[in-house]
Structure 1
Amino acid sequence: MRKIKNVILLGTLACSSIFAQQKPVYLDESKPIEQRVEDALSRMTLEEKVAMCHAQSKFSSAGVPRLGIPENWATDGPHGIRPEVLWDEWDQAGWTNDSCIAFPALTCLAATWNKDMALLYGKSIGEEARYRNKNILLGPGVNIYRTPLNGRNFEYMGEDPYLASRMVVPYIQGVQSNGVAACVKHFALNNQEIDRHTVNVNVDDRALYEIYLPAFKAAVQEGKAWAIMGAYNKYKGQWACHNQYLLNDILRGEWGFDGVVVSDWGGVNSTKQAIYNGLDMEFGSWTDGLSEGASNAYDNYYLAKPFLKLLQSGEVKVEEVDKKVRNILRLAFRTTMDSKRPWGSFGTVEHAAAGRKIAEEGIVLLQNKNNVLPIDLNKAKKIVVVGENAIKSMTVGGGSSSLKARYEISPLDGIKGRVGTQTQVVYARGYVGDASGNYNGVTSGQDLTENRSESELISEAVNMAKDADVVIFIGGLNKSDFQDSEGNDRKHLELPYNQDKVITELSKANKNLVVVNISGNAVAMPWANTVPAIVQSWYNGSESGASLASILVGDANPSGKLPFTFPVKLDDNGAHKLGEYPGNGEVTYNESIFVGYRWIDKEKIKPLFPFGHGLSYTTFAYGKVSADKKEMDADGKMTFSVSVKNTGNREGAEIVQLYISDLKSSLPRPVKELKDFQKIVLKPGEEKVVTFTIDKSALSFFDAAKHDWVAESGDFEALIGASSTDVKTKVGFKLR
């Protein structure tokens, strides 16, 4: 902290000295940013320029103190503001005022299907980052859900490029309204954690442009993201953090990105490639602080002394460093040097309420036979809660998104707090998963050590369940290694710790069983037919338990829908069926564009739960969809309308989904693709007309031969559904 203050003081003195002479253009906020950038650049020495291109600590890069240009400070992550670490180490700095509000993981945000929630999320977490004086937030993540085994899927927004595109834009806008850059990650094709530092991804251009790039493109062109983070993996034999095709040709060339490209921590592998292939700022290349015997490892980064020597010798032209510094200065003028930048706020009740609202909207009711849910507290006098995830902290762990949360309400505490004393709530462990509770020096403070045997734990749970009015099993995955965690993928689709056995025995003991799966990934559910109610929850942050309790007792009506498919078995996923996961140094996406529900539709597979699925405590009736015309002109638009009515007895929200089907194409196409959606709130008996307007882009596919988007004339259908498999109504139309 002392160093930050010193830099600010130096910058202030420098500015005072400059103002005493003549106000430079770069300090004049009335001037266009590009003019200010060029003026500041012209005043910098070569050494100062190079210093801006690489880290000076674990999470910061240098400014130019004599010119009053502040340092850049980055922070993880997409779900909450990381606690401070020591200057040159990963160990905790020991601050007592850096405990954040933990927000739900991005899988939960995607499951809301609500762009207003994305804006609220971005604005809230942006305020937390700004208060801590960070100007780069390392998130959001928009890598596509290719396999349910990917350890970082919980950080992303699901399997569909359109859904991810629509949700990422308001998130970015919310973050950046605070003068904090959203750093969208990981660009691109980072779809597995196994061999992530070395694997070379082979993917055809159609899949690249139709599946894996749209969310990044929307982030850049619509969200106006100020930063992009490169990925660890290779594409076309080049590491993604310095990749000619991804960064120069696509990101800057095709999309016109004018922000900063930041490396993932340790993602740089070559000075020459880093110079020429689109990288601006290098972080994390060495992490021991003593590389090559130097007292400061940062001087030895690929874009530090090696870069400077090449510039000084003339082997590399100064224009190469100038390109990078222009982008970094542009970042500064948008963030730290914006005098109108808000002050932010941290750990507030408003942020906690925002997190709870997002969680409530994102929790998905997967199954509800016999209307076991919501729990009627007037009738339920004894509730038995079973499972380690009912008590285990989920804000600590998982990799770079691990947090030091101000507080975390567990599911058990959330249920007890809501139920009060009118209903007895008793708890049984049921199974033992991970008794640890620490990551990077942050500890949960829990001691989950358990000495009883598996059979003893199951017997206890079953005996307690026999006379209960309702049994709630709360399990799933956790954020330990080889589960939902950075660094490794899951080893199988099944629930760990023999939870299937616990659930099966509980279902025999009590017919009123609710299974709550907490995870960021799909899991196998061999017991699904014997369990009446299944709820998909997520890593929901500080208010996790309160939000879950609200759904279980009906204070909030569930309205979330799945952002990815739950397959019955791994073989129902294209990446696994075709045998190209995880690869061996090379991985080929043989399934091409057929990811998620696109593969399910193509192969006519019945999923466990489909993309877009989610139930409510009320019911909805769909009318017949109509089109405003029978044909779309090549340059025109088309509008579809459908009425939706709440036919139940309580208020609820429905997510109406529009899919488009190309009935005849010169190239293979998915059976249908999501092209729009709306979340509407309806009171009992209320009816609304939902309208969707599309243009030719919604009918287009990427033609690799032409390297362009093509919409072929012919017959199409617009399908309105409550999920990808629950199509309610459709209408045909033509493209001229």
Structure 2
Amino acid sequence: MKIKFCFFLNLLFLHSILCGQVQPIYLDQDKPLEERVEDALSRMTLPEKVAMCHAQSKFSSPGVPRLGIPEIWTSDGPHGIRAEVFWDEWYNAGWTNDSCIAFPALTCLAATWNLEMSALYGKSIGEEARYRNKNVLLGPGVNIYRTPLNGRNFEYMGEDPYLASAMVVPYIQEVQKNGVAACVKHFALNNQEKDRGHINVQVDDRALHEIYLPPFKAAIQKGKAWAIMGAYNQYKNQHCCHNQYLLKDILKEKWLFDGVVISDWGGVHDTHQAIENGLDMEFGTWTDGMQENIKNAYDLYYLARPYLQALQSGESKEEILNDKVRRILRLIFRTTMAPNRPWGSFGTTEHAQAGRQIAEEGIVLLKNDNSLLPIDFSTVRKIAVIGENAIKQMTIGGGSSSLKVKYEISPLQGLQKQIGNQAEILYSLGYASPQKSSKDPMGEIQQIGVHASREELRQQAIETAQKADLVLFFGGLNKNSFQDSEGRDRQSLSLPYGQDTLIAELAKANPHLAVILISGNAVAMPWIETVPAIVQAWYGGTEAGNAIAAILTGEVNPSGKLPFTFPVRLEDNAAHACGGYPGDGKNVEYKESLFVGYRYADKQKLSPLFPFGHGLSYTTFSYGKITADKKIIRPDEKITFSIQIKNTGLRAGSEIVQLYISDKKSSLPRPIKELKGFQKIYLQPGEEQILQFTIDKEALCFYDDIQQKWITEPGKFEVLIGASSTNIKDRLTFELK
């Protein structure tokens, strides 16, 4: 009855327009955006305004049917467009036309170090969201990789604020060209899943501004994101979904954000704070953000009936409400009611191939002693493929990023297709994760039939390895709880399910062993000395298996580099070495301050297992000497550095050249070096190219927590250019006057 009545009101409204009785500016797409917003706002009643500030279903909020203003429909991302769920439940609604393309996890995108891949990702996922008529994509995520135990690291872009800032911008820009808002998350300091719903983060101002805020600032000021999502945790003893300092003082006043602040699902806890502290739209209250749910409670949300009552009693001012509604209307006019909004496309071959290209560029060759890879089919006739991750589906599970996909190519399937009859493939499970009977929100958890003990599986794998010329072990993590998954942190840096013991035994059984890790996190490698080849393959999405096979067989030359540090031990990670993680259940103190990832390794002179920015190729590159166009600069000037890179190997390939800056003397402690530039170049064998990097004072400044502003001090600086944070090829000193 309600739907029919609203439809009738819309017909009356449209009839009145056609008859010339009203001429609403907000429907005139040629009018300036702000005029349209003000006109629509002036026609709305108080209850209609309040209704727009909270959800009406699990993933939607109401429009104003009387005025022809449409609803807002969101979709979980950022790796694919989530299947349709029931109106007020988490579970799959059973549609037959909502199977998406799964794109690689954002750690894989970050590992491409390629802005073109970020743009391709945003364009493709934006088209999928648009086709499904979603006008808010809940992603991308840019929280900093602080600890390798964070279960949600696979959804983010690594440990370095410069890299994450650069990579997030093209993604947002291309998503929004489709008339779909990118909702950047989780603002801010959501760096662990343990106690995420209430933990209060204590971090100094320098670390906040230099490490944790820059990717969000870039998303807003350079990417022009139309939406941002608050985090679950607290900062300054206020929940981040209604945090005065983060949402009002920084986001809306300092950064001049004109978009919508959306709560994470279940992240709102107080009506007064939600009203006053910058939240615009409330979703998912009285859920756990994944499965738990109090049904049909939307009128009782903090920004629903309690808000209306506060307005009617005079306790709350309508101008605050008007600001929220202006932002929501602005979002609607930029998306659903935007002129010339494209139609998008969904589940296409083009999108699948885009995902494959991103996956191929993001896969990292960590180690390759004696050129074990790529596979040499002149000597390799029989290949043993071992490990559950060779066949396990990785697009379901993991929390809100769980997807219902059109298809997913496993590594075993990819190898079988790629290798054909060039070699015989033998498969052995080797290990198995625990069986699950619970239902994933996106569908049934994949069941892998296991009828043997761990010891029997291990022995079968060893026997298979002994028969082969080459062993490819597929291990790592998965999307189960306490692995790479929302809501739970990992409990150890070690590989689960007895994999470390199995790998050590396989190395004894056959020295021609390559370990391919599928994960979004660093892992310990006690077996590293006995394994000649190691590949970090991430979660590659729909075309994961084909991408991995292309790398292993040499069809594609690996070119990815790590977006975070792999420590030897958990104690080599700053969050653990300094005693901060995971806190006492109420507070967590970031005792390491600025020294996250490679910054901490540099400070402590630690040798990581694999450093930030590390990645090998099937070819080799030489670096020339750095030159500069000047040796002394002033604050209003720029300086350009040049360096020659040459492909000295026999294969065409890509190299990621990284530029770091070191402040030789400052009034406040600073990291030994910080990433301030990178370029990815493709070179044919023997080809050389001169790269240029231009920086200004922004690359030299730091945040002064006493003055509460960014400052640049005169003095000597050093530019370092290299192939990773530890593989520095040359350095040059210059001076800022």
Same fold (TM over 0.5): yes
| Per-residue Cα deviation, 1:309-353 (whole angstroms, up to 9, x for no partner) | 010111111111101000000000100111311111000000000
Find the aligned partners of 1:446 and 1:195 in 2 and give their Cα distance: 28
Tell me: CA distance 1:461–1:249, structure 2 relative to 1, closer, same or farther (3 Å).
Answer: same
Match of 1:250 in 2: 250
Tell me: CA distance 1:186–1:472, structure 2 relative to 1, closer, same or farther (3 Å).
Answer: same
Match of 1:18 in 2: 17
| 1:75 to 2:65 alignment | no
The within-5 A match list for 1:332-371 is: 332-371=332-371
Asked if structure 1 preserves the Cα contact closer than 8 Å seen for 2:396 and 2:445, the reply is no
Find the aligned partners of 2:8 and 2:623 in 1 and give their Cα distance: 63
Find the aligned partners of 1:454 and 1:124 in 2 and give their Cα distance: 42
Find the aligned partners of 1:41 and 1:105 in 2 and give their Cα distance: 39
Quote how far apart the aligned CAs of 1:454 are: 1.6
Asked if structure 2 preserves the Cα contact closer than 8 Å seen for 1:474 and 1:515, the reply is yes
Match of 1:279 in 2: 279
The within-5 A match list for 1:204-353 is: 204-287=204-287, 296-353=296-353
Quote how far apart the aligned CAs of 1:15 are: 3.6
Quote how far apart the aligned CAs of 1:462 are: 1.0
Report the AA paired with residue 530 of structure 2.
T
Match of 1:588 in 2: 589
| Per-residue Cα deviation, 1:627-674 (whole angstroms, up to 9, x for no partner) | 110011111100000000000011000000000000011111000000
Quote how far apart the aligned CAs of 1:453 are: 1.5
Match of 1:718 in 2: 719
Match of 1:610 in 2: 611
Match of 2:676 in 1: 675
Secondary structure of the residue that 1:228 maps to in structure 2? strand
What is the percentage of aligned positions where both structures have the same residue? 68
Report the AA paired with residue 217 of structure 2.
K
Moved more, 295-304 or 517-526: 295-304
Quote how far apart the aligned CAs of 1:469 are: 1.3
Match of 2:501 in 1: 501
Asked if structure 2 preserves the Cα contact closer than 8 Å seen for 1:437 and 1:446, the reply is no
Asked if structure 1 preserves the Cα contact closer than 8 Å seen for 2:390 and 2:474, the reply is yes
Count how many residue pairs are aligned between Structure 1 and Structure 2.
732
Report the AA paired with residue 580 of structure 1.
G
Secondary structure of the residue that 1:336 maps to in structure 2? coil
Find the aligned partners of 1:696 and 1:3 in 2 and give their Cα distance: 59
Tell me: CA distance 1:669–1:288, structure 2 relative to 1, closer, same or farther (3 Å).
Answer: closer
Q: Tell me, which stretches of 5 or more residues in structure 2 are unaligned?
A: none
Find the aligned partners of 1:427 and 1:6 in 2 and give their Cα distance: 61
Tell me: CA distance 1:10–1:173, structure 2 relative to 1, closer, same or farther (3 Å).
Answer: farther
Report the AA paired with residue 17 of structure 1.
S
Asked if structure 2 preserves the Cα contact closer than 8 Å seen for 1:288 and 1:297, the reply is no
Quote how far apart the aligned CAs of 1:376 are: 1.6
Asked if structure 2 preserves the Cα contact closer than 8 Å seen for 1:516 and 1:536, the reply is yes
Tell me: CA distance 1:267–1:598, structure 2 relative to 1, closer, same or farther (3 Å).
Answer: same
Report the AA paired with residue 249 of structure 1.
D
Quote how far apart the aligned CAs of 1:66 are: 1.2
Moved more, 718-727 or 377-386: 377-386
Tell me: CA distance 1:446–1:314, structure 2 relative to 1, closer, same or farther (3 Å).
Answer: closer
The within-5 A match list for 1:226-625 is: 226-287=226-287, 296-436=296-436, 439-443=439-443, 446-584=446-584, 585-625=586-626
Match of 1:183 in 2: 183
Asked if structure 2 preserves the Cα contact closer than 8 Å seen for 1:200 and 1:235, the reply is yes
Report the AA paired with residue 316 of structure 1.
S
| 1:92 to 2:92 alignment | yes
Find the aligned partners of 2:216 and 2:709 in 1 and give their Cα distance: 17
Quote how far apart the aligned CAs of 1:25 are: 1.0
Report the AA paired with residue 384 of structure 1.
A
Secondary structure of the residue that 2:475 maps to in structure 1? strand
Secondary structure of the residue that 2:19 maps to in structure 1? helix
| Per-residue Cα deviation, 1:139-183 (whole angstroms, up to 9, x for no partner) | 000000000000000000000000000000000001001000000
Secondary structure of the residue that 2:480 maps to in structure 1? coil
Find the aligned partners of 1:498 and 1:304 in 2 and give their Cα distance: 50
Asked if structure 2 preserves the Cα contact closer than 8 Å seen for 1:484 and 1:520, the reply is yes
Find the aligned partners of 1:61 and 1:601 in 2 and give their Cα distance: 48
Tell me: CA distance 1:250–1:454, structure 2 relative to 1, closer, same or farther (3 Å).
Answer: same
CA RMSD of aligned residues (A): 1.7
Tell me: CA distance 1:446–1:734, structure 2 relative to 1, closer, same or farther (3 Å).
Answer: same
Asked if structure 2 preserves the Cα contact closer than 8 Å seen for 1:393 and 1:444, the reply is no
Tell me: CA distance 1:606–1:437, structure 2 relative to 1, closer, same or farther (3 Å).
Answer: farther
Q: Tell me, which stretches of 5 or more residues in structure 1 are unaligned?
A: none
Find the aligned partners of 1:367 and 1:579 in 2 and give their Cα distance: 31
Match of 1:627 in 2: 628
Match of 1:146 in 2: 146
Find the aligned partners of 2:163 and 2:721 in 1 and give their Cα distance: 15
Tell me: CA distance 1:138–1:619, structure 2 relative to 1, closer, same or farther (3 Å).
Answer: same
Find the aligned partners of 2:465 and 2:575 in 1 and give their Cα distance: 40
| Per-residue Cα deviation, 1:247-274 (whole angstroms, up to 9, x for no partner) | 0000011101000000000000000000
Match of 1:45 in 2: 45
Quote how far apart the aligned CAs of 1:551 are: 0.2
Secondary structure of the residue that 2:645 maps to in structure 1? strand
Tell me: CA distance 1:513–1:311, structure 2 relative to 1, closer, same or farther (3 Å).
Answer: same
Tell me: CA distance 1:12–1:523, structure 2 relative to 1, closer, same or farther (3 Å).
Answer: farther
Quote how far apart the aligned CAs of 1:706 are: 1.0
Tell me: CA distance 1:313–1:39, structure 2 relative to 1, closer, same or farther (3 Å).
Answer: same
Find the aligned partners of 1:654 and 1:345 in 2 and give their Cα distance: 33
Moved more, 163-172 or 280-289: 280-289
TM-score (norm 2): 0.97
Tell me: CA distance 1:4–1:569, structure 2 relative to 1, closer, same or farther (3 Å).
Answer: farther
Asked if structure 2 preserves the Cα contact closer than 8 Å seen for 1:7 and 1:70, the reply is no
Tell me: CA distance 1:6–1:708, structure 2 relative to 1, closer, same or farther (3 Å).
Answer: farther
Quote how far apart the aligned CAs of 1:439 are: 4.6
Quote how far apart the aligned CAs of 1:88 are: 1.1
Asked if structure 1 preserves the Cα contact closer than 8 Å seen for 2:396 and 2:440, the reply is no
Report the AA paired with residue 13 of structure 2.
A
Find the aligned partners of 2:325 and 2:666 in 1 and give their Cα distance: 46
Find the aligned partners of 1:294 and 1:479 in 2 and give their Cα distance: 26
Find the aligned partners of 1:120 and 1:643 in 2 and give their Cα distance: 28
Find the aligned partners of 1:48 and 1:606 in 2 and give their Cα distance: 60
Find the aligned partners of 2:621 and 2:534 in 1 and give their Cα distance: 20
Quote how far apart the aligned CAs of 1:282 are: 0.1
Match of 1:58 in 2: 58
Find the aligned partners of 2:494 and 2:287 in 1 and give their Cα distance: 35
Tell me: CA distance 1:295–1:701, structure 2 relative to 1, closer, same or farther (3 Å).
Answer: closer
Asked if structure 2 preserves the Cα contact closer than 8 Å seen for 1:393 and 1:437, the reply is no
Tell me: CA distance 1:450–1:38, structure 2 relative to 1, closer, same or farther (3 Å).
Answer: same
Tell me: CA distance 1:402–1:294, structure 2 relative to 1, closer, same or farther (3 Å).
Answer: closer
Quote how far apart the aligned CAs of 1:566 are: 0.1
Quote how far apart the aligned CAs of 1:28 are: 1.2
Match of 1:662 in 2: 663
